[in-house]
Amino acid sequence: MENINAVITGVGGYVPDYILTNDEISKMVDTTDEWIMGRIGIKERRILKDEGLGTSYIARKAVKQLIKRTHTNPDDIDLVIVATTTPDYRFPSTASILCERLELKRAFAFDIQAVCSGFLYALETGANFIRSGNYKKVVVVGAEKMSSIINYTDRATCPIFGDGGAAVMLEPTTEDLGIMDAVLRTDGKGLPFLHIKAGGSVCTPSYYSLDNQMHYIYQEGRTVFKYAVSNMADACESIIARNHLSKDNIDWVIPHQANQRIITAVTQRLEVPAEKVMVNIERYGNTSAGTLPLCLWDFEDKFKKGDNLILTAFGAGFAWGAIYIKWGYDGKNR
C-alpha cells in the first residue's frame, strides 16, 4: 500500500478593514512610529471593530474563501480544526460555530489552544488525520481577535498585536509532497513571563480582576525574546538536519510574525538570506495563531510545486516548533 501524506491544496484568508496605525497608537500611549518600527517592525495592524463579531467571523471569512478557491463541496469536509486563543466563548468551540455558519453538515470540529504556535500544532494534527486514511478533506484555521485581550493603555503590548486569520485545506497525496516533518515542543517554563492572569479556573472573573486589568496579556518582552530566538532556531536546525536540507535547497522560511528583530535573529542563525524569508509583520502585526497561515495566504503566488518551506513559531507556555512542508501546487495558477 502506498504511503499517504497530507498536502496543502489551497489557502484562504481574511483581515479586517480597519487599520490601526502607529500614529493612532502614539495618541493612546507614550510611543512613536520610529520607536515601534525600530523595536518591533510594525507599521500597522488590522482591528475587527464591528460590534458582536468575534474570531469565528474572521475564521468564517477565511474558510469561505478557501472553499471557493479549492472548489470544495462543503458536504465533503470531514474535519475542521481552529487554532485560536481568542475564542468567541469559553464554550462552545469556535470551530463548532464555524461549522454552523458555513453549513458544514458532515464535519466534526474542535479548537486547539497553543497561542502563537497554535497553527503549527493544528497543522500537524490535521495532517495525522489525513495520514490515518480515514479523512479526505481537513480544514486547518489559525484566527485571532487579539484586540479583545489587549490593554490599549499598556505601552509594552498594545503596539504588537492585530486581528486576522487564514485557513488551509489538507488532502491526501501519494506524491512526495505535503507536511513532511514536524518538531513540536512544550516546556511549561513560560507561565511567569507571558500570560493572562484572570478569567480561567485559577483566578475567576471578579470586580477585583476587572479593576486591576487582569484580563489582558502580560508579557516580559526581553525574556520572551531570548527564548523565542533560541528555541525557534533550534527547532529549525533539527528539521534541517533530519531532512538533509541546506540553506541552498530551502526555498522559503516562514517565521511567526511577532517581532522583526526575532525574525532577523532566527534567520541569521540559520544563515538563510533575507530574500528567502517571508515577512508581513509591518502590515498586520502579531496575529498569534494567524501569522503563519496569513503568510501562506499573502505570498501564495510565490510558491511553486515542490518548494521546500520551513514554518516556525514560538508562543506562550512556552510552546514552539518547526514544520517542513513540500508545497503542493504552483501558487500563480490560483
For the segment 259-310, what is each residue's pLDDT rounded down to a tens digit? Answer: 999 999 999 999 999 999 999 999 999 999 999 999 999 999 999 999 999 9
- Assess whether 215 carries a catalytic annotation: no
Domain assignment of residue 42, given as a range: 3-176
- Assess whether 286 carries a catalytic annotation: yes
Do 230 and 258 fall within a single domain? yes
Tens of pLDDT along 15-39? 999 999 999 999 999 999 999 999 9
Buried-exposed string 124-151: b where 16+ CB fall within 10 A, e elsewhere: bbbbebbbeeebebbbbbbbbbbbbbbb
| Grid coordinates given for 260 | 522583526
Q: Which of 293, 297, 2, 11 is nearest to 170 (CA)?
A: 11
pLDDT band at residue 217, thresholds of 50, 70 and 90?
very high
Task: Give the single-character DSSP code of 286.
Answer: B
Instruction: Confirm whether 308 is domain-assigned.
Output: yes
Give the separation between CA 179 and CA 161, rounded to whole angstroms. 28
pLDDT band at residue 333, thresholds of 50, 70 and 90?
confident
Do 170 and 188 fall within a single domain? no
Do 16 and 157 fall within a single domain? yes
Decide: 125 and 141 in contact? Cβ < 8 Å: no
Residue 9: phi and psi, rounded to 5, are -110, 0
**How many Cβ atoms from other residues are within 10 Å of residue 199's Cβ?**
15
Global pTM value: 0.98
Do 228 and 117 fall within a single domain? no
Do 101 and 187 fall within a single domain? no
Q: Of all helices (H) and strands (E), which one includes residue 308? A: strand 308-315
Q: Which of 132, 12, 5, 143 is nearest to 72 (CA)?
A: 12
Q: Which of 231, 259, 286, 308 is catalytic?
A: 286
Helix (H, G, I), strand (E, B) or coil at 174: coil
* Mean pLDDT, all residues of the chain: 97
- Give the pLDDT score at 208: 98
Q: Which of 99, 116, 158, 236 is catalytic?
A: 116
Q: Which of 99, 231, 256, 259 is catalytic?
A: 256
Do 79 and 170 fall within a single domain? yes
Pairing label, strands 108-112, 138-145: unpaired
Q: Which of 294, 281, 16, 284 is nearest to 141 (CA)?
A: 294
Instruction: Confirm whether 192 is domain-assigned.
Output: yes
Decide: 236 and 272 in contact? Cβ < 8 Å: no
- Give the pLDDT score at 1: 59
Structural domain total, the chain: 2
CATH of the domain at 92: 3.40.47.10
Percent residues over pLDDT 90 in the chain: 98
Sign (positive/negative) of CA torsion 15, 17, 21, 27?
negative
